[in-house]
Structure 1
Amino acid sequence: MEVWLIRHGVTGHNKNGFWQGQRDVPLAPEGVEQARRLAIRLERLGLTWTALYTSDLSRAVRTAEILGERLGLVPRRDRRLREVCVGELSGLSREQVRQRYAEYVASSLRDPWHTRFPGGETLAELSERVWSFLRELGGGRYLVVSHGGAIRTAVLRVLGGEGAVPWRIRLENTSITRLHWPEGVRGEGFINTVGDAAHLEPAWKPEE
């Protein structure tokens, strides 16, 4: 089984440094273009896809729709692929969080995996729901559109790095992270690629 995890296209909150979590923020025009470039790149590969799944938040759904239109796939929505719920931090800037939630920030630096976002989830809870989705997939090659936090926890799960700081894994919007479970292999799988965003490089030619 091979899973290609795609981070959704960029949003206004991403560009301006605001926490999103499960707030339903739409793609920015730049995010639509990012998804279009990724769709062209994936089409050129000529691969066969078993299915296309997406988080049910609109920024992920729209990214998946753009991919699906070009690849001939209908996105299937699954709430487990949502971003972590950041609760009271949603819509705040990083500076506002540092000023208003100093205790949370200090705790998250000591234990990022189990510190609960104020009024929200922990990263451990996020990891469990994402992993419950991945465990249900059968053999095949899947496209899965999700979110930065969700993809980072999946990477750390494969590496056995639960408890590490996930934000040190850099994932551009619409980047590709590939997880692989060879036939007959059990366990947490392998990582082929993390954060591949070659289609966003200025030298990459999206012309059809």
Structure 2
Amino acid sequence: MLIGLVRHGKTDWNKDGRIQGQTDIPLNQEGISQAISLAERLSREARIWDAVISSDLQRANATAKIIAERLNIPLLDSDPRLRERFFGEVEGTKEQERHERWGTNWREVADGVESNEEVRKRGLSAINDWKTTFPDRNLLVVSHGSFLAQILAEVCSDLEDQYLSNLSYSILELRDDSWHPQLYNCTIHLQT
């Protein structure tokens, strides 16, 4: 089984440096273009994906729809377990605002910020369901930066921690009940 992990395309809040969390912000034109670029790349590569699934937030779902349509593969029902980390009262703020209001350890002191453990638990729940429901299918998963970083850290602890860019593409392979990275944080499709 393969799982592809894709961060959604850019939004106006990404452009402005605002933390989105579960605030439902749409893709901007650049984000749509980024999704098209990855879809075009995948359409030229050997076909490995059987279906696409995404978070139910519109920026991820719109990215997934563009890819699924270009690859002519099913877009499965969105899954709220794939949502971005909930950032509580921090959502909509820029880094300087966060540091001024809560300090550099804002993740620990601001109200309502979902913990790493909570994010990992719901992500692993989804992955374990797919292993049972789709054992012979390769799924392309479109989600969010902080969520994907937590999942990668949980299932591939040897990976270098990198910032996951918008429309970054990673591939994990399930072998002997362990996940092995085949591609990590690739954005070559955006370098045109």
TM-score by length of 2: 0.91
Matching of residue 191 in structure 1 with residue 163 in structure 2: no
What corresponds to 2:123 in structure 1? 130
Helix, strand or coil at the partner of 2:105: helix
3-state SS of the aligned residue for 2:69?
Answer: helix
Stretches of 4+ aligned residues off by more than 6 angstroms? none
**Identity within the alignment, %:** 34
**Alpha-carbon distance in 2 for matches of 1:157, 1:90:** 24
Distance in 2, matches of 1:18 and 1:95, equals 10
Give the conservation status (yes or no) of the 8 Å contact 2:50–2:73: no
1:144 aligns with 2:155: no
Distance in 1 (CA, whole Å) between partners of 2:129 and 2:110 is: 27
Indicate the RMSD between aligned Cα atoms, in angstroms: 1.9
Q: Could you list the runs of 5+ residues in structure 2 that have no partner in the other structure? A: none
Pair 1:200-2:190 in alignment: yes
Listed as ranges, the gaps of 5+ residues in structure 1 are 109-114, 203-208
Q: C-alpha distance in 2, partners of 1:117/1:38?
A: 35
**1:25 deviation in Å?**
0.5
Distance 1:156 1:198 in 2: 22
Question: Could you say what secondary structure the match of 1:179 adopts?
Answer: strand
Q: CA deviation at 1:172?
A: 1.4
Q: Which amino acid aligns with 1:176?
A: Y
The TM-score with structure 1 as length reference comes to 0.84
Pick closer, same or farther for the CA change 1:193–1:48 going to 2, 3 Å: closer
Paired amino acid for 1:2: L
Q: Is the 8 A contact 1:85 1:117 kept in 2?
A: no
Paired residue for 1:23?
A: 23
Report the alpha carbon displacement of residue 116 of structure 1 after superposing the two structures with TM: 7.1
CA offset digits 1:7-28 (Å, max 9, x no partner): 0000111111001000000001
Number of matched residues? 187
Contact in 2 for aligned 1:3/1:141 (Cα 8 Å): yes
